[in-house]
A and B are shown apart, each in its own frame.
Chain A
Amino acid sequence: MSFLILSEISENLQRGKAKIVVELVQKALDEGIAPDAILNEGLLAGMNVIGEKFKNNEVYVPEVLVAARAMNKGTAILKPHLVAAGVQATGKVCIGTVQGDLHDIGKNLVKMMLEGKGLEVIDLGTDVSPETFVQTAINENCQVICCSALLTTTMGVMEDVVKKAVEMGVRDKVKIMIGGAPVNEDFCQKIGADCYTPDAASAADAAVEFCKG
């Protein structure tokens, strides 16, 4: 019975059926299934399938977004139960679009893929200063800072984030990842960031590895 309902949660999440996912998550809790099992074998299992399909071009941005929304609504039901059971996220990341840049579709997609991997994500939004990135990482004990940029005129701020992390004495404690249309591996190495990823799925994989330590 528990396997069936967890499978239903996963499948409805993959179809983006947020309302049904919420109902099923509550039903699973009512049946006494452990919250972390609902999370891992229901919600995150569904997002993993979506993530792999996205990598393989079997689903696209809209499908990932509706699936992630279903996951977030299901997770919201679980959260107090997870906290009570002492279940923690597998890592913590702060993400934002750099100062001067207001484009956020890529950042939003990465955020959802990160959450789909079980990471806790602090979304700083757009137009984020280097100080905000680093101070947030310090305050929230983030293992990773993810910086997004769409403009060639704003990508330089990513280097300022790296410098700010050095200045604030946390460069060795936090990994800095970058992404966005104008950036590439050469730029990542040039500015001293830790990782460039070309798409949301690989960003999520990289962040998981960084959080493992």
Chain B
Amino acid sequence: MKQWLSDMIASDTKTALPILSFPSVSLMGITVRELISDSDRQAEGMKLVADRVKSAVAVSLMDLSVEAECFGATIRVSDEEVPTVIGRLVNDEDEATALEVPAVGTARSGLYVESIRKAVQLITDRPVLAGIIGPFSLAARLLDVTEIMMDCYDEPDMVHTVLEKCTAFLIEYAKAYKAAGANGIIMAEPVAGLLSPALEAEFSSPYVKQIVEAVQDDSFIVVYHNCGDNVLRMTESILSTGADAYHFGNSIDMADMMAKMPTDTVVMGNVDPAGVLRQGAPDTVREATLKVMNKCCSYPNFVISSGCDIPPATPWENIDAFFATVEAYYNHQ
């Protein structure tokens, strides 16, 4: 996979790598609730997407409720949207100390690993990456996203206790994906992007780095995703994680990020998945995609992508327009 990344940088023609999985629901005529409950459907969905679009990889669901549910968090499931974590599982230092690290296989985690095992059998023409949450974003779901921001100041030891347990679970979860045949993971750490650079350097990157060091090797990459607002101010810390590739969201100007990143590292982003891909039309998708590509494709390490997970109900004509734009751009070049 490291060679695959190097080849990508060396190539004059790049293949888009959007975070594209949930819109498979409309290809299969099922609901999100049905998709998240069935490994066969998840694998089938990934295969259908791979057959339809020329994407650089096949990506599994970026469902940021799976891991929190394993710890015991309550989630709300709907037919149309990605599940949401509700409430606060850990309220104080005692509860953080008592929090048990779940085994991989708890709740839906086993099902999601199984979906990858099935997907890699079906998809053999491109790498398969599994979606996983990052440690601070997982801790935020256990401590409440608003409360953890203040806990970083008031109760740092408690936050570190929870982070250690989140990291321990995520390492085993990532290893399970690796054993199932995934070629890597995309690790989503968006909540860390709301922090100050100092807090991010204390409460996120060191834990991401532990996961990277535990699982990343020549055959298994970690793609670090952070669509938070402040990533331009924390690039040094983010790069300290040692991830093989990076993925950023549409709250930033991608060109500004490209100027800060090392040229031997693949960096991806950042067409707006909600405002453009979900709510736009083919012509606005084309315009937005070209805007990013025109600014960033001069960097050989840039790969065009969505800014985040593409919503389930995104029209396929818009997704098709995205890929058509990318293909036309490189054909013209």
Q: A152–B274 contact, CB under 8 A? A: yes
**Per-residue CB proximity of B263-290 to A under 8 Å, as 1/0?**
0000000000011001100000000000
**Bound-complex Cα distance A100 to B77 (A):** 11
Partner of B150, one of A66, A154, A184: A66
- A123 → chain B, closest Cβ, in Å? 12
Partner of A62, one of B81, B149, B279: B149
- A31 → chain B, closest Cβ, in Å? 29
Q: B146–A152 contact, CB under 8 A? A: no
| Interface presence of B84 (CB below 8 A) | yes
List the B side residues contacting A182 at CB < 8 Å. 274-275, 278-279
- A24 → chain B, closest Cβ, in Å? 19
**Per-residue CB proximity of A111-151 to B under 8 Å, as 1/0?**
00000000000000000000000000000000000000001
Closest residue of A by beta carbon distance from B203:
A62
Q: B199–A62 contact, CB under 8 A? A: yes
Partner of B275, one of A63, A69, A151, A184: A184
Q: B153–A152 contact, CB under 8 A? A: no
**Central interface residue in A65, A69, A153, A154, by most chain B CB within 10 Å:** A153
Closest residue of B by beta carbon distance from A190:
B279
Closest residue of A by beta carbon distance from B308:
A181
A66-B153, A69-B150, A108-B146 are known contacts. Are A61 and B81 too (CB-CB below 8 A)?
A: no
| Interface presence of B233 (CB below 8 A) | yes
Q: B146–A60 contact, CB under 8 A? A: no
**Bound-complex Cα distance A182 to B196 (A):** 24
- B139 → chain A, closest Cβ, in Å? 14
Q: B313–A153 contact, CB under 8 A? A: yes
**Per-residue CB proximity of A169-213 to B under 8 Å, as 1/0?**
000000000000111100100000000000000000000000000
List the A side residues contacting B195 at CB < 8 Å. 60-62
Which chain B residues in 104-156 approach chain A with CB under 8 Å? 145-146, 149-150, 152-154
| Interface presence of A59 (CB below 8 A) | yes
| Interface presence of A104 (CB below 8 A) | yes
Q: A102–B86 contact, CB under 8 A? A: yes
Q: A102–B84 contact, CB under 8 A? A: yes
Residue count of chain B within 8 Å CB distance of chain A: 25
**Per-residue CB proximity of B74-86 to A under 8 Å, as 1/0?**
0010101100101
| Interface presence of B13 (CB below 8 A) | no
Q: B81–A187 contact, CB under 8 A? A: no
Closest residue of A by beta carbon distance from B200:
A60
Q: B76–A104 contact, CB under 8 A? A: no
| Interface presence of B230 (CB below 8 A) | yes
**Bound-complex Cα distance A152 to B318 (A):** 15
- B165 → chain A, closest Cβ, in Å? 21
**Per-residue CB proximity of A36-70 to B under 8 Å, as 1/0?**
00000000000000000000010111110110010
- Report how many A-B pairs have Cβ atoms within 8 Å: 64
| Interface presence of A87 (CB below 8 A) | no
List the A side residues contacting B278 at CB < 8 Å. 152, 182
Q: B194–A60 contact, CB under 8 A? A: yes
A65-B146, A66-B150 are known contacts. Are A152 and B196 too (CB-CB below 8 A)?
A: no
Q: A151–B194 contact, CB under 8 A? A: no
Q: A153–B80 contact, CB under 8 A? A: yes
Which chain B residues in 176-206 approach chain A with CB under 8 Å? 194-196, 199
- A71 → chain B, closest Cβ, in Å? 13
Partner of B145, one of A16, A105, A181, A184: A105
Q: B150–A153 contact, CB under 8 A? A: no
| Interface presence of B311 (CB below 8 A) | yes
List the B side residues contacting A81 at CB < 8 Å. none
Closest residue of B by beta carbon distance from A198:
B251
- B318 → chain A, closest Cβ, in Å? 12
Which chain A residues in 11-41 approach chain B with CB under 8 Å? 16
- A68 → chain B, closest Cβ, in Å? 10
**Per-residue CB proximity of B152-166 to A under 8 Å, as 1/0?**
111000000000000
| Interface presence of A163 (CB below 8 A) | no
- A180 → chain B, closest Cβ, in Å? 9
**Bound-complex Cα distance A151 to B152 (A):** 27
Q: A62–B86 contact, CB under 8 A? A: no
Closest residue of B by beta carbon distance from A58:
B196
| Interface presence of A79 (CB below 8 A) | no
List the B side residues contacting A184 at CB < 8 Å. 275
Closest residue of A by beta carbon distance from B274:
A182
Which chain B residues in 203-236 approach chain A with CB under 8 Å? 230, 233
- B319 → chain A, closest Cβ, in Å? 14
Could you jot down 10 A-B contacts, CB within 8 Å?
A: A60-B196, A61-B149, A61-B195, A65-B150, A100-B81, A103-B145, A105-B145, A152-B274, A152-B311, A153-B81
14 more contacts with CB within 8 A, not counting A60-B195, A62-B195, are: A60-B199, A60-B230, A62-B149, A62-B194, A62-B196, A63-B196, A66-B150, A100-B81, A102-B76, A105-B145, A105-B194, A152-B313, A182-B279, A183-B275
In the complex, the 3 A-B pairs of residues with the closest C-beta atoms, listed nearest first: A182-B274, A62-B149, A60-B196
